[in-house]
Structure 1
């Protein structure tokens, strides 16, 4: 696991609604990894997709984090302020010939399973093209995840040329997250396993931009009884900022840690202090955790 005293981690919520138990698990996990290594923990708001954002969600999320005792070590970064940085990175890729304009729609790519290897649609008058990263045949990525183990992906075959700027002009997540992780000096990315499949794409993009590759740890997902990711489920109820201890104890147990460590804590601050002392990264399970089960056995 991570022991470098120069560790810089982050929690990066999207303002699409209130934080739920899965969000809290990612916040606690990333906070513990960073502070366990005596590093810094940052918060970055991924507000680059206005059609999906919920009014007031950003402020509500930040207030909730504060109520749970999570205080970032630096000022919060908002991706909505980062257009110039993303445009500069995109220009670098276009100039290098590794990014290109593309007018292909989802319908155009449906026969290929949505995977882009070559354009099937030419320029469309009056339409703005997307911009994709060119992924040559045989592009493989392999990395060791601190929780999920060895991950190998044939990015060309499984993903293909992926979008950096959407046809509607909005920035794609993959470009924004890579640019901002580098700009903030993030060394260790701790997040949910739903993003594990995106990591090889981000590593390809880091290499194309000449940026460092952080270390990764993908936490188990919190799911409902049907096995659905909580954010996609009717069970995705907001966590209660007025009564944070039950949710903190659930997240702690879901990380495979001993429930007894937080049993006598009377405040979020006391709970986080105790958690930092008792945290054992090797106990984190790799499999998903059902919301109803607050005592999760180690599966690492």
Structure 2
């Protein structure tokens, strides 16, 4: 339900600005992709009445819209970073990073700050470590790495990427491109100018803006929306915890108008108990995008 509310808000933002709503399937971590998950997601969005202008099923000028089909783009821009000496191989395991970090600073969901263990290894040291472990590739964060931006919901944000996160992974040791890197390339090539997503990804924005700048891409604006929280525990709803999706609500007789009304009510856009379609919600929200954002608080 939290993902669906964020999708509704992203759709609403795009429509209020007379922009395009773009749907991208982020399936880079193929071993974790559940069979049929994409199809179920597309079905749920259509059932709710949310439409998109570009996406995996309808195409568009920047196809393909599925990340696992876009690997050639990631290789191209990884090569650009390599030629600028902005990436290097890292042989550290997560456990080793935790052990090496004294008084570690947390980079939100990403664990302790990377201490730079492999940053300046000699060629011989790299060869020796490569015999026992496949490396990941880390982005070499510049010395001056303070990123400031204004989030449309969270307000002014500042993060010193070097101090908070350190050099971060752009390709994992198993060869899978990291989310931080892939979404920057995709957003730039798809000409995304506004990113609307959950606040759990707010800590990622500074790293991504750093990559936008290094790669010479135009920077999008960001709007990080609040998550739906469990009333009893105060924690975010999670698929791992068996949080309710649409299937049981449909089986119980809930209509798309019920669901859209509940999602819009949960972030203060309409009075409680209102039943309406996304298009009716758009008509009811005859205000500017920034008025909508002002009503949503983290």
* Shorter-normalised TM range: 0.7 to 0.9
Counting strand residues as a fraction of each chain, which structure ranks higher?
1
Distance (whole Å) between structure 2 residues aligned to residue 115 and residue 282 of structure 1: 32
Whether 2:262 is the aligned partner of 1:274: answer no
1:1-300 alignment, distance < 5 Å: 21-76=1-56, 77-110=65-98, 111-112=100-101, 113=104, 114-120=112-118, 122=126, 123-225=129-231, 226-231=233-238, 234=241, 236-240=243-247, 242=250, 243-259=255-271, 263=274, 265=276, 268=277, 270-277=279-286, 280-287=291-298
SS at match of 2:88: strand
Secondary structure of residue in 2 paired with 1:60: helix
Q: Deviations over 1:42-65 (max 9, x none)?
A: 100100012222111000000111
Task: Say how many residue pairs are matched.
Answer: 264
Closer/same/farther in 2, CA of residues 185 and 85 from structure 1, 3 Å limit: same
Q: Which runs of 5+ in 1 are unaligned?
A: 1-20, 288-300
* Structure 2: runs of 5+ lacking an equivalent: 57-64, 105-111, 119-124
The answer (yes or no) to whether the contact 1:140–1:153 under 8 Å persists in 2 is yes
Q: Is the 8 A contact 2:89 2:136 kept in 1?
A: yes
Alpha-carbon separation, structure 1, partners of 2:4 and 2:44 = 10
- Determine which structure has more spread, i.e. the larger CA radius of gyration: 2
Deviation at 1:249, TM superposition (A): 1.2
1:34–1:41 contact (8 Å) kept in structure 2: yes
Matched-pair contact (CA < 8 Å) for 1:31–1:41: yes
